[in-house]
């Protein structure tokens, strides 16, 4: 049982309401990625093929060359391109060495779209970020069960 991965996923507001079997399933599908400082994780305009949960380190998010925010442990990036079937809306670069867990498109969409409360939370996150021009991957928009930044 991937206990560390399950704890990380549970810390993300996006996945907070998923039932245990679904969390366990997506935890088993995660792939760790270690990024050196300066490495690009997501490039604006590229197709979206995965969601990333941040386990360690800090990532900087830029849109059109403009700094938007810095993300850290317990936050995620990449859901908008998957949920809306659009190109990546920002570039995400490792500010420090970082470890993220990659969840590919199909298991991400199966988990999110297969559970109504999670789908509503995902839609709220994506809609709010797109409307506000905020960073596309941060999962810090409070929802049911969320306690501030995720």
CATH label of the domain that carries residue 113: 2.60.120.10
Domain, as residue range, for 39: 3-132
Beta strand segments in 36-97, E: 40-42, 50-56, 59-63, 66-71, 76-77, 91-94
Does residue 98 belong to any structural domain of this protein? yes
pLDDT at 68: 86
Does residue 149 belong to any structural domain of this protein? no
Does residue 145 belong to any structural domain of this protein? no
Residues 137/60, Cβ–Cβ less than 8 Å: no
Per-residue pLDDT of the chain (150 residues; tens, 9 = 90+): 468 889 999 999 888 888 888 899 899 999 999 999 999 999 999 999 999 999 999 999 999 999 988 999 989 999 999 988 999 999 999 999 999 999 999 999 988 888 788 888 888 888 877 775 644 444 443 332 322 222
Does residue 119 belong to any structural domain of this protein? yes
Does residue 144 belong to any structural domain of this protein? no
pLDDT at 140: 40
Reading across the β-sheet that carries 76-77, which strands appear in turn? 31-35, 98-104, 50-56, 76-77
Residues 80/86, Cβ–Cβ less than 8 Å: yes
Does residue 112 belong to any structural domain of this protein? yes
Residues 120/14, Cβ–Cβ less than 8 Å: no
Does residue 45 belong to any structural domain of this protein? yes
Domains in the chain, number = 1
Residues 53/129, Cβ–Cβ less than 8 Å: no
Does residue 146 belong to any structural domain of this protein? no
């Amino acid at each position: 049982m991937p206990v560390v991965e399950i704890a990380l996923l549970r810390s993300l507001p996006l996945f907070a309401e998923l039932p245990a079997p679904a969390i366990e399933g997506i935890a088993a599908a995660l792939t760790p990625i270690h990024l050196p400082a300066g490495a690009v994780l997501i490039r604006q305009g590229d197709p979206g093929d995965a969601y990333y949960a941040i386990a360690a380190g800090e990532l900087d998010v830029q849109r059109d060359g403009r700094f938007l925010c810095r993300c850290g442990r317990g936050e995620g990036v990449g859901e908008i391109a998957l949920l809306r079937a659009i190109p990546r809306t920002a570039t995400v670069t490792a500010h420090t060495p970082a470890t993220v867990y990659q969840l590919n498109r199909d298991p991400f969409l199966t988990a999110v779209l297969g559970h109504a409360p999670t789908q509503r939370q995902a839609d709220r996150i994506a809609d709010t970020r797109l409307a506000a021009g905020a960073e596309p991957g941060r999962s810090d928009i409070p929802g049911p069960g969320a306690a501030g930044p995720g």
